[in-house]
Amino acid sequence: MMSGAPTPDPVTRHPGDTGAATPATPRGRMDALDVARGLALLAMAVYHLSWDLRWFGLVDWPVDSSRGWRIFAGLIAGSFLVLVGVGLVLAHGRGIRWRKALVRAGRIALAAAAISLGTWLALDGQYVRFGILHEIALGSLLALPAVFLPSLITLALAAFVVALPHLVTLSFAGDSWFTWTGLVGYAPPSVDHVPLAPWFGAILAGVALARLVIGSHPWKRFAAWRAGGRGSRAFAFAGRHSLAVYLLHQPILFGTVWAIVELGLVADPAHEAFLDQCRMACVAATPGQEAACASACECTLDALLAKDKQEADMNVTFGQCRREAGLPGS
């Protein structure tokens, strides 16, 4: 579950837009950045819902294996991390506000620990060891000095961090404890793995991007934009409460899909597979009897479910259903 938890710092509008950031205030948020976070949250919810549907066997989408889905997940995580870097410049551009930075990182770290514990209890070996919340908590502190570096140097550092896993590979006894660095040669099975390298590079890229554009004419227009429509206001609201949305959305989605399956509101994939195989075998034995075969197979499944019959009884039950459907040779 990609995992991807957005919680960049609140940001402010800059009336003069001199290029320096001003401290964030509740009334000084930038709607455009909140909407950007809200859109990223929507993409993350789409990915997680697709993962949930796959988990319950309701779809056969290769959410956890195909290259396209991996790219989609990577773009979502990367967008959140870039926004973290932008938020750091806006919140600390005039000087690091250490108390604010530490409190924020601590809050996210607690949420990350809760995610690790919850997934360990639910998923055992695939639990989240170092996911995107862990990355944001640690990376937002490590990136603070970069707020005051020249943009080109920060971009170079970002490129180095992205390339680092290809340059350095750690291998030693007990190296599994260091998979969070991204430098160990294997990744443990996990529903959300966002190691420091290469993903810290996205935060640094966000810092450099903010340093480059703040004060420019496009930035002034971006900062002055207001969310006016109902949709944009909804995305802005989600972006302002991104950590809460992240923590709540997956339990809600997963629980909803689970409830739908348990209540029988969708066909059980195993039952559908049984019916498909039964119909194919029946039609192969009695060509031209598709409708009767479908009826016999549904009758068989209903009888097996109602009577909780074992596989040994299936042939007897199917024979009875064939006769009821009027199939030849019954």
Q: Give the model's pLDDT for residue 285.
A: 85
**3 state SS of 120:** helix
Domain boundaries, the chain: 26-262, 269-325
Mean pLDDT of 14-41: 64
Cis peptide before 218 (omega within 30 of 0): no
**Taking 90 as the threshold, does the pLDDT of residue 237 lie above it?**
yes
Q: Which residues contact 54 (CB under 8 A, 6 or more apart)?
A: 60, 61, 62, 63, 64
| Cα 68 to Cα 199: distance, rounded to the nearest angstrom | 19
Q: Which two tokens stand for residue 162?
A: 């992205």
**Do you find a cis peptide bond into 198, omega within 30 degrees of 0?**
yes
pLDDT at residue 84, rounded to an integer: 97
Percent of the chain whose pLDDT exceeds 90:
58
pTM of the shown model? 0.77
Please tell me the distance from the alpha carbon of residue 142 to that of residue 313, in angstroms, as a whole number. 65
Q: How far is CA 192 from CA 45, 213, 217, in A?
A: 14, 32, 38
Q: Using CA atoms, how far apart are residues 277 and 8, in angstroms rounded to an integer?
A: 51
Query: 171 with 157: CB under 8 angstroms?
Result: no
Q: How far apart (Å, rounded) are the C-alpha atoms in residues 144 and 96? A: 7
Cα separation, 86 vs 221, in Å, equals 16
Q: What is the pLDDT of residues 196-212, one digit of tens each?
A: 999 999 999 999 999 99
69-122 residue pLDDT tens: 999 999 999 999 999 999 999 999 999 999 999 999 999 999 999 999 999 998
* Tokens, residue 230: 């109902």
Closest CA to 1 of 137, 116, 162, 109: 116
Rg (the chain; Cα; Å): 26
Check: CB of residue 176 under 8 Å from CB of residue 130. no
The confidence band for 308, taking pLDDT boundaries of 50, 70 and 90, is low
Dihedral angle computed from the Cα positions of residues 323, 325, 328 and 330, in that order, rounded to the nearest 10 degrees: -20
